C-alpha cells in the first residue's frame, strides 16, 4: 500500500528509538508526578487542573504512577526486539488506548474536569496516537499472521 501515511520501512527503522523515547517521557512524567505528590510540593493551580483528577486525588496519583513506573522499563526493553516483544507492545497500545479513552470520556462528561482535555488527555492521546501509528505500521514487518 503506497498510500500509507507511514511507510513500513520508515516505521521499522524509527520504532525502537520512538518506543524508548516514549518510555522515557512517560517515566519522567510519572516520576515527577510521584515526587510532587509524596513531597506535597505545590505545583500551582493551572498545572494541577490539567493533571489532577477530582478533589486532590493523591492516592490515585501514587497508584497510577506505580503502574506506569513499573511498566516503563518493560516498554523500554521491548524496543530492542519488537518481534519477540510484540505482545508487550500490543498490550501497551491497547491498555493505554483504554486508559486515555476513559480519560477523554471523563474529561468530556465530568463536571469540573474539562481542563484535562487540554492537559493530560491531549498529551496522552497525541503521544499514543503518534506512537501507535508507528507501531501498527512496523508491526506488519515484525508479526506474521
| pLDDT tens profile 44-100 | 766 666 677 776 678 888 999 999 999 999 999 999 999 999 999 999 999 999 999
Q: Does residue 4 come out as left (phi exceeding 0), alpha (psi in the -120 to 50 range) or beta?
A: beta
| Per-residue pLDDT at 75 | 98
**Three-state DSSP class for residue 3:** coil
The mean pLDDT value for 26-44 works out to 87
Enter the C-alpha cell of residue 107: 474529561
| Per-residue pLDDT at 3 | 43
The mean pLDDT value for 118-122 works out to 84
Enter the C-alpha cell of residue 66: 506505580
Enter the C-alpha cell of residue 81: 526486539
| Per-residue pLDDT at 1 | 45
| Per-residue pLDDT at 47 | 66
What percent of the chain has a predicted confidence (pLDDT) above 70? 88
- Higher pLDDT: 43 or 96? It is 96
86-109 vs 120-142: helix crossing angle, rounded to 10: 150
| Per-residue pLDDT at 43 | 78
DSSP letters spanning 117-131: GGTHHHHHHHHHHHH
Distance in angstroms (rounded) separating the CA atoms of residues 129 and 53 = 22
> What's phi and psi for 102, nearest 5 deg?
-65, -40
| Per-residue pLDDT at 4 | 52
Q: What Rg value do the Cα atoms of the chain yield, rounded?
A: 17
Residue 2 has pLDDT above 60, yes or no: no
- Higher pLDDT: 39 or 88? It is 88
Amino acid at each position: 500500500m503506497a498510500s500509507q501515511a507511514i511507510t513500513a520501512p520508515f516505521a521499522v527503522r524509527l520504532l525502537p528509538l520512538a518506543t524508548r523515547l516514549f518510555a522515557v517521557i512517560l517515566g519522567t512524567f510519572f516520576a515527577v508526578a510521584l515526587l510532587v505528590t509524596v513531597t506535597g510540593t505545590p505545583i500551582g493551580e493551572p498545572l494541577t487542573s490539567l493533571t489532577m483528577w477530582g478533589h486532590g486525588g493523591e492516592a490515585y496519583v501514587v497508584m497510577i504512577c506505580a503502574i506506569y513506573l513499573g511498566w516503563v522499563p518493560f516498554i523500554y526493553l521491548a524496543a530492542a526486539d519488537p518481534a519477540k516483544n510484540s505482545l508487550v507492545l500490543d498490550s501497551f497500545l491497547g491498555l493505554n488506548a483504554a486508559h486515555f479513552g476513559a480519560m477523554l470520556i471523563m474529561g468530556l462528561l465530568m463536571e469540573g474536569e474539562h481542563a484535562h482535555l487540554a492537559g493530560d488527555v491531549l498529551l496522552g492521546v497525541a503521544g499514543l496516537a503518534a506512537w501507535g501509528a508507528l507501531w501498527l505500521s512496523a508491526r506488519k514487518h515484525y508479526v506474521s499472521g
